[in-house]
Structure 1
């Protein structure tokens, strides 16, 4: 029987194969092996040859998707021949907002999950917000995060498209925030709404820092001594800090009594406001003083009970200094001197509390101090970028090293405050009083220099500029009472970029060390240059101004 269109696919293929392989054979000879009786489920020829009998319908159904994907391969349309009339370049459509958001989360937020909580900041709040799945129902926070991510991406990656997108997203965010923040004040205050507004305002403050340019700082009297302070106080970020303070006050009055009301967003908002008050030289309100009320616990609470009184202590000292400059009568001067003695006793107590705090920092025994012998020989001048001296201190990891950096910064701050208090004492002709004054001043300067040196030595490790190796390197030696140098060596990494989430760990310690008196001109200049470099790494324009004349001295 001759093959028909309904024959099985196996017999059709055998017929085609025979024609291609044996073209010299006559058609009559080729007909015989291609006959199919169309038997179901297996035709006779496939049964005899022990082949798989494939129905034609099954093959057509299996190849249907191929015909749909490629019209030319299916034979529906003839492929055009000849040159194309015009060459069209197909460029992929890149979503710049998605790229910026992924960049920010990957480099600024997600890596901070393993750091100690005291060294984290807004990143922990963002992680908690995303883990709670509330970001799916709050477009305001998403808009704030997108605005910040676009601004940071634009500054660090030099993207004009991201800068345009950041400006547009921020203007949309302003409209959303105005309507949402109005609902915070009222009898029906909601915890979720308060946290959403606080997180948004914090992101808006970070956005203002990312888009800041040095020329945006203004002052009414550039030649006056207070010009840097006036310029610093004109930053637009402070307006968002004031807004966050007002929202947090509403939470304190209506929601702080609830169980587990102090979330990490509440905690980090108060931390940011504490540092803001210190930088601006303003006191903290009484309702902000209790850190436990705002979620501080354990080691974080111990540090908070030192830093918060220090902020108000510095404010009180600055007020006394202003009174002394204005000129006072003898009675008022004596009263101020008595107050200064009380403030000095308070400062010494805070310094003692900091020494006790250091004993509670985990992994204190992991501290190792190295001398970079090779770099000391090859680097002709010191300090270098990220290295003030050849001495480098390492700890368990970057997160715990950042805890020590916070400790060093706090002790610098407290002892610098003591130096200000000692300035309130007038020169005395009494040898004993003059000796006590000189001894106290020397003690403060010694503590500041020691802490500044420790901060400078831990700075390269926090930025991951060095890494320990178990191989012996005779050029790198261990210092002090540490084990022999044959156990470890130190490898310097200067060709890899600093990761942004590590750079943010040093912002606050460097801000303190670069802004207070007593650190020393050379060290303070280096601290400011490092802070400015961190500003370029993380995309913060305010920090980039640390090397300029607009940077304030606390």
Structure 2
């Protein structure tokens, strides 16, 4: 008989030590991975039958990690290696630039913070040479390379490749099936990224032409190319309706982005997409996920608060109901942060920064992924308190309620000042380099007490992707202290420049969203 070591299959596959805690070991919990156990070990049995080779059967062929498939289903891909393929020619500088600067390796962020582009190269390697996925990856890499490096020929090549990808994806969609839905889902989301990079700023309307009745508080002109997000939502819906085997890793990454887009656009999350449990979310991420779904619904219902009193109708939500829902959500968010496990919490350190406008301690987190989730938490609470304060302001227009809401408005403003401070303290870690005993190391999200944290002016593009959404929310939120808002606007400009993102530049310059 063979006596195996204790431990989950996930840790064994990754060749790391497991503490054998059932049903979710500490390493999987911390990294946000699915903790998979052998059936015998779950039952407490410490022995197994001899392996196939010992029984006289031929050995299985060796497979590299790049070929391995993790998870209970063969269709669920979660590459455990740095996502740069040997099939990519070394002379393709644009693609290498995109991979090195925009795509996280497994060891850089935990699963719960990964973007969908993390899974694009594994799918690209098995896609046809002329597939829409290969075309859009090439188009996107040329677009970001051309904008950052200011190379017109690369931008022109991106436009040609994108046009070809549009034609190709339309043909592939006619043959939608279990076998190609992952490629099409990734293609669609990367097309949205491409449009973010390449779309030109729209002309700002003349202030004389803007009335209270046509204020674009959701930035519909900015998000005019939302068809790709809508198409991605439809693809996920079809996967569910057809009962095709889900790719939980990819589906989670796409769904997280779609929820954040819903909040920006001021629309509710579709009902079938709301339950994170169906997509394998768990722990603190699941709890925050469910709250953000509620926030999207509140933002949609609160848009009526921007209308003048004469334009409001009896069918629209009452400001008192909106204030009560915002109050409930703020309490839920506060409870979420208070109940986090120890390894999710941060420490506060002093740092060395060249920015004279920022002279406060810095929050340091276990990983960049944890820092990103905390930044989303701060930004989400900011807009919840902003909506709450706006609803109370509308109620205060009635003289009989003016005094009754004044105290709660003061609470909202105090919350927003505190949240703005915490967000400002969390941003610098994404701009840092860490020095240990005089030796500079790569920027990272952790630091020991012996490390010297130096805050830089520039940010790596893939770290910038983690900051874009919370910064958009923060700078478009009313009533945060002006000096915080200006500092956050400068950081969003740095993020937009690092990403070469035209849409972010528009948001920064025109500042027309309202929360």
What TM-score do you get using the length of structure 2 for normalisation?
Answer: 0.72
1:277-313 deviation per Cα after TM superposition (whole angstroms, max 9, x unaligned) = 2222222332222222234233221111000110111
The unaligned stretches of length 5 or more in structure 2 are 1-87, 439-447
The unaligned stretches of length 5 or more in structure 1 are 1-93, 185-189, 472-485
Conserved? CA contact 2:351–2:455, under 8 Å: no
- Give how far 1:371 is off: 6.0
Residue in 2 that maps onto 1:450: 418
Report the Cα distance in structure 2 between the residues aligned to 1:347 and 1:289, rounded to whole angstroms: 19
Residue in 1 that maps onto 2:113: 119
Conserved? CA contact 1:151–1:166, under 8 Å: yes
- Give how far 1:113 is off: 4.7
Report the Cα distance in structure 2 between the residues aligned to 1:282 and 1:526, rounded to whole angstroms: 29
Report the Cα distance in structure 2 between the residues aligned to 1:531 and 1:207, rounded to whole angstroms: 19
- Give how far 1:525 is off: 2.9
Residue in structure 1 matching 2:368, options 391, 398, 406: 398
Report the Cα distance in structure 1 between the residues aligned to 2:280 and 2:301, rounded to whole angstroms: 27
Conserved? CA contact 1:347–1:418, under 8 Å: yes
Conserved? CA contact 1:231–1:550, under 8 Å: no
2:274 maps to 1:253: no
Task: Give the 3-state SS of the residue equivalent to 2:366 in structure 1.
Answer: coil
2:269 maps to 1:284: yes
Residue in 1 that maps onto 2:347: 367
1:416-448 deviation per Cα after TM superposition (whole angstroms, max 9, x unaligned) = 221122133144555xx5444112111111111
Task: Give the 3-state SS of the residue equivalent to 1:233 in structure 2.
Answer: coil
CA RMSD of aligned residues (A): 3.1
Residue in 1 that maps onto 2:441: none
Report the Cα distance in structure 1 between the residues aligned to 2:165 and 2:157, rounded to whole angstroms: 12
1:454-500 deviation per Cα after TM superposition (whole angstroms, max 9, x unaligned) = 1111111122x2536568xxxxxxxxxxxxxx9546342537x4211
Residue in structure 1 matching 2:480, options 507, 514, 519: 519
| Residues 346-355 or 453-462, more deviating | 346-355
Report the Cα distance in structure 1 between the residues aligned to 2:288 and 2:370, rounded to whole angstroms: 14
Residue in 2 that maps onto 1:467: 434
Q: Which has the larger radius of gyration?
A: 1
Task: Give the 3-state SS of the residue equivalent to 1:393 in structure 2.
Answer: strand
Report the Cα distance in structure 1 between the residues aligned to 2:131 and 2:316, rounded to whole angstroms: 53
Report the Cα distance in structure 1 between the residues aligned to 2:175 and 2:161, rounded to whole angstroms: 22
Residue in 2 that maps onto 1:352: 331
Count of aligned pairs: 416
Report the Cα distance in structure 1 between the residues aligned to 2:274 and 2:158, rounded to whole angstroms: 36
Conserved? CA contact 1:232–1:550, under 8 Å: no
Report the Cα distance in structure 1 between the residues aligned to 2:310 and 2:408, rounded to whole angstroms: 23
Residue in 1 that maps onto 2:95: 101
Conserved? CA contact 2:148–2:498, under 8 Å: yes
Task: Give the 3-state SS of the residue equivalent to 1:418 in structure 2.
Answer: helix
- Give how far 1:551 is off: 4.1
Conserved? CA contact 1:135–1:141, under 8 Å: yes
Report the Cα distance in structure 2 between the residues aligned to 1:289 and 1:490, rounded to whole angstroms: 42
Cα distance change of structure 1 residues 97 and 356 upon mapping to structure 2, 3 Å threshold: farther
| Residues 163-172 or 398-407, more deviating | 398-407
Q: Larger % of helix: which? A: 1
Cα distance change of structure 1 residues 102 and 451 upon mapping to structure 2, 3 Å threshold: same
Cα distance change of structure 1 residues 340 and 218 upon mapping to structure 2, 3 Å threshold: closer
Report the Cα distance in structure 2 between the residues aligned to 1:346 and 1:524, rounded to whole angstroms: 26
Cα distance change of structure 1 residues 362 and 115 upon mapping to structure 2, 3 Å threshold: farther
